[in-house]
Amino acid sequence: MDTGATSFEGHLVAAQFGDETGYAMLWRELNPPLLRYLQVAAAGAAEDLASETWLQVVRGLKEFRGDEAGFRSWLFTIARHKAHDWHRQQGRRPTAPLDDVATAAIQGTDNTEESAIAAMGTQAALKLIASLPPDQAELLILRVVAGLEVADVARIVHKSPGAVRVGTHRALHRLRQLLADDVFERTYAPEVVTL
Amino acid sequence: MKLLRNAKWWSSVLRREMPPPTFRRRSVEPTDFHQLDQLVATGTVPAGLDSDWEAVSEVLRDAKAPAVPAELTGETAALSSFRRAQIGVPSRRPHQRPRMLSAFITGKLAALALCTTAGVGTVATAAYANALPTPIQGLAHSAIGAPAPHESSDHADGPVVAPASPPPSSHRPEITVSPTHHSEPPRPTETHSSHPATQTGSTETKTSADVGPLSLCLAYHAAVEHHTALAAAMQARLVTFAGGTENIVAFCTKLLTPILRPTATHSETHVSATPTPAEHPITTSVAVGLCNAYRHGTLPTQYIGRLNELAGGADHVAAFCAAMPTPTTGPEPTHSSAPPTEPPSSPVH
């Protein structure tokens, strides 16, 4: 854990000094969760908003002072603002049309069976989470996928830590309920094999 | 097959119409709190929770599964943006205008970069050797040889570099000051042996690779900007200068930043200490280089405004460039020849 944090922050400092490798390491580590967050928070614009988020990170990188948690918080704060701006422009509530994203993710892989299945599993999980009320889905993604602590999430979404915990727990209960409703369908899904 | 069955059983939920929200609004029992926190943190069902939470934990694990290749396909573009930012190329802020002096120097660098990437080795070398005015070479020298004569962080926070609209405070998390971030920038390399001054008098064959680190970095900048590759010989030489491929960006940033982004102090000092004739080579080379690129349709958008300024307006660019010499044999090596058509320009404000 310590070594991971140290190496992340080493990459962060390197990137702040203009080192491309350092920046690449940050990007590889955080672009997947960023994309996943945006797929839930702004389905249909995830790729574009992720690029815009990274652009803003690059602009402010030299001025950033903080550790790994601070950087993650900063990144997802920017992404959240991008998602909100996007929704304002779209004039509609978040929806969950993740099929295109899932298909693209699978087609974009090297088509080994494992990675296709992995992509399918991740995208299906995101789609399920996206079917939760938007506030709850966001909390769950920020906690689980972005790996942020309660206090960090609270700052990002402008809620109290207690409200974040309760909201996250509600999301879990809803998820459990959703899955329990399908308890008799816990069977092998044949169309997955065709992927 | 086990993977399929285990990981995907709940995907059947997704295949059917989502039911209307029939959930009962249930309060979260306080006794759940720590266990659910644990579930979120670890992705595994802690002791004390029902086994049907396994399904939830499986969804959470899938949601944070390792990256799939499709999520990493944008890396090239992301690194390109990063590189541009390091060299000082604005990504999407066309409204921001650089200050006059730095704009001039940028134009100068553009001309050099264009020359070098065009593969005209003699042009590049001649421009490099003769056209750099003393203050700029001094800056380059200090950037190459002397370890950080001015704090690089000062440059990074300088007025030219500062984003036009820095992230508002609401976009910034609370951050802790970490003084180690100001640690020593990349160590100086052995570039002193290949300083421009030593190359000026060189009798070696002037190939495209036979140029100094500054020209190489400019060529690298231009190549990055045009999404092309650096010539192999130049690449190899640059790797040598930088002390490794992975150091190129840091090396070139260190080299170019003081020139691209002089602080107010440096600008004033060097400009006021420079006799006006030194301005002519800058303007000449800028004009020749920009016009050459303009003719070939390879002028980067960020320099179009510069050319317009030099020409005295967008309408005059064609006539202005028609009067410029075509640098097939390189720019005039004599630093005293300024083109008569050159409009008056004042880099100092």
**Is the per-residue pLDDT at A14 higher than 70?**
yes
- Beta-carbon contacts of residue B86 (< 8 Å; ≥ 6 apart): A18, A20, B249, B253
- Whether B164 has its CB under 8 Å from any CB of chain A: the answer is no
Helix A150-157 vs helix A68-90: crossing angle, to nearest 10: 30
CB contacts of B157 in chain A (<8 Å) are 62-63
Cβ within 8 Å of B, A 173-192: 173-183, 185-189, 191-192
Q: Give the pLDDT mean for A153-163.
A: 96
pTM beyond 0.90, yes or no: no
Whose tokens are 């058509």? That residue is B341
Q: Which of B1, B5, B11 to mutate to test the interface with A (most CBs of A within 10 A)?
A: B11
Q: Give the pLDDT mean for A102-119.
A: 51
CB contacts of A170 in chain B (<8 Å) are 28
pLDDT at residue number B305: 63
In chain A, where does DSSP find H-type helix?
2-16, 20-41, 46-60, 68-90, 99-107, 113-130, 134-140, 150-157, 161-181, 190-193
- Whether A103 has its CB under 8 Å from any CB of chain B: the answer is no
Q: What is the pLDDT along chain B (349 residues), one digit of tens a residue?
A: 444 444 455 555 555 555 555 555 555 555 578 889 989 988 888 888 888 888 899 999 999 999 988 899 999 999 999 998 887 766 554 343 444 444 444 444 555 444 444 443 333 333 344 333 343 434 434 434 333 333 333 333 333 333 333 333 344 443 333 333 333 333 333 333 333 333 333 333 334 444 566 777 777 777 776 666 677 777 777 787 788 777 787 777 777 665 544 333 333 334 333 333 333 344 455 566 566 666 665 555 555 666 676 777 777 777 777 777 654 433 333 333 333 333 334 433 4
pLDDT at residue number A12: 93
- Whether A19 has its CB under 8 Å from any CB of chain B: the answer is yes
Q: Give the pLDDT mean for A106-120.
A: 54
CB contacts of B64 in chain A (<8 Å) are 33, 36, 144-145, 147
CB contacts of B38 in chain A (<8 Å) are none
Greater pLDDT, B168 or A137: A137
CB contacts of B8 in chain A (<8 Å) are 117, 120-121, 124, 188-189, 192
Structure token pair of residue A104: 């693209």
pLDDT at residue number B16: 53
pLDDT at residue number A32: 96
Closest to B78 (Cβ–Cβ): which among A19, A27, A73? A27
Cβ within 8 Å of A, B 75-94: 75, 77-79, 81-83, 85-86, 91-92
pLDDT at residue number A36: 96
**Is the per-residue pLDDT at A110 higher than 50?**
no
State the number of CA atoms in the 13 A half-sphere of B117 facing the CB.
25
Phi, psi for A89 (deg, rounded to 5): -65, -40
- Whether B30 has its CB under 8 Å from any CB of chain A: the answer is no
pLDDT at residue number B251: 78
Cα nearest neighbour of B174 on chain A? A70
ipTM: 0.82
In chain B, where does DSSP find H-type helix?
2-8, 12-15, 33-42, 53-63, 75-87, 100-117, 121-130, 134-144, 152-156, 196-200, 213-225, 232-242, 248-260, 264-272, 279-296, 301-311, 317-322
pLDDT at residue number A50: 96
Structure token pair of residue B185: 């920038």
pLDDT at residue number B299: 55
What count of other Cβ atoms lies within 10 Å of the Cβ of residue B154?
12
Which of B5-27 are b and which e, b meaning 16 or more Cβ less than 10 Å from the residue's Cβ? eebbbbbbbbeeeeeeeeeeeee
Query: Is B165 exposed, middle or buried (CB count within 10 Å of its CB: 0-12, 13-18, 19+)?
Result: exposed
B13–A185 C-beta distance less than 8 A: yes
A20-58: per-residue pLDDT in tens?
999 999 999 999 999 999 999 998 899 999 999 999 999
